Structure 1
């Protein structure tokens, strides 16, 4: 298996978590941005239309004859392959709903950090709506260990990323939500995740590209 993406967390880290959690050997192919102002990447420019992808983009996944792009398509494919999905229609629907809610919130945050001169204004607006969004996530998780109860599913990888992104964005954002904080720590202490996070392969930063207002640099 080969997973290709930028050398940052972005929309791909949840896929990396899944592969490490499932203890799958894979090549973690990382592309690096060039310097300002265009941040071009000659290596990706050269690879983009020469990899046999139907819709050339990052991230991409190669698994034997399978060639995929689109982060969610990749995540779902791997989740099905390694049985990290719902076991009933009711569970699948529950995961589908939370998956989409998390992606909506992640997109809202991305729009803020990539907003350029409007960053401070949009940050303030985002922080006003965030507690309500986190309260809904807290209610949905309840007293369960993971989204689907005791069993880890692919949506847990997305949930962790969204919570951690928001914690890095505003360190007090999770203070009122004990179960969300507990989930973060529980996830980080999963043996395979702990092993990955303590290795040289993992870095909490950067989350976003170098042109982001926050989280776009290694420090």
Structure 2
């Protein structure tokens, strides 16, 4: 029996949340080691566990993986969530990276001094640049690529839920995306993940922001 996957990150969403989502959909059990102080981070550095001195870091299959995109691709490949061939995979990667771009705008909001202006920019870009792409892609198929569930679908669900937290009703003009969201939330593993008490993290709060600033010695 293989060892359980271990996630090293903060007790919050950030870049690890997409990894939690994907492991959940793949039905992979995982443990979490939360960074709560500078000393823990320095210990990971001194142990050579952080290739680029950054988290997320995921222990899986005897490896210590860093860099979010690389981790997500490894999990997607391992659990058959990355398309059937190269053409499928490049489409999945394009959809995924677009979603990561959008979600990262939301992730940095708690650290931004002018969050209101940034919210307006995010809403505008979501409605004009990103959501139309996924609305078109879902005009017939039930999944984004190849008629099969992929990591891009998981990220699209995560992203739409994040958007609705900030902008209720944002999907009103995107019925295909809204229908897709409804279908995805009926997948048993996802339904469980959306219930209280799961390993899904809540929206960032002051404690989460304060911890990150202290661990990384950020002054802004």
| C-alpha distance in structure 2 between counterparts of 1:204 and 1:183, whole Å | 22
C-alpha change, 1:141 and 1:113, in structure 2 (3 Å) is farther
Structure with more contact order per residue of length (Cα contacts < 8 Å, sep ≥ 6): 2
Which one of the candidate residues 1, 6, 21 is aligned to 1:2? 6
| C-alpha distance in structure 1 between counterparts of 2:108 and 2:14, whole Å | 13
Match for residue 86 of structure 1?
Answer: 83
Bigger fraction of residues in helix: 2
Match for residue 151 of structure 2?
Answer: 154
| C-alpha distance in structure 1 between counterparts of 2:182 and 2:46, whole Å | 40
Q: CA deviation at 1:174?
A: 1.3
Unpaired runs of 5+ residues, structure 1, are 33-39, 213-219
Match for residue 29 of structure 1?
Answer: 33
TM-score by length of 1: 0.81
| C-alpha distance in structure 2 between counterparts of 1:14 and 1:110, whole Å | 12
Is the CA contact 1:21–1:193 (under 8 Å) kept in the aligned structure 2?
A: yes
Instruction: List per-residue Cα deviations over 1:129-187 (Å, max 9, x = no partner).
Output: 33112122211232322222542111122212221111111112112111212222222
1:131 aligns with 2:135: no
Is the CA contact 1:18–1:154 (under 8 Å) kept in the aligned structure 2?
A: yes
Unpaired runs of 5+ residues, structure 2, are 211-220
Aligned residues: 204
TM-score by length of 2: 0.80
Which one of the candidate residues 11, 21, 30 is aligned to 2:15? 11
What is the root-mean-square deviation in Å for CA atoms of aligned residues? 2.4
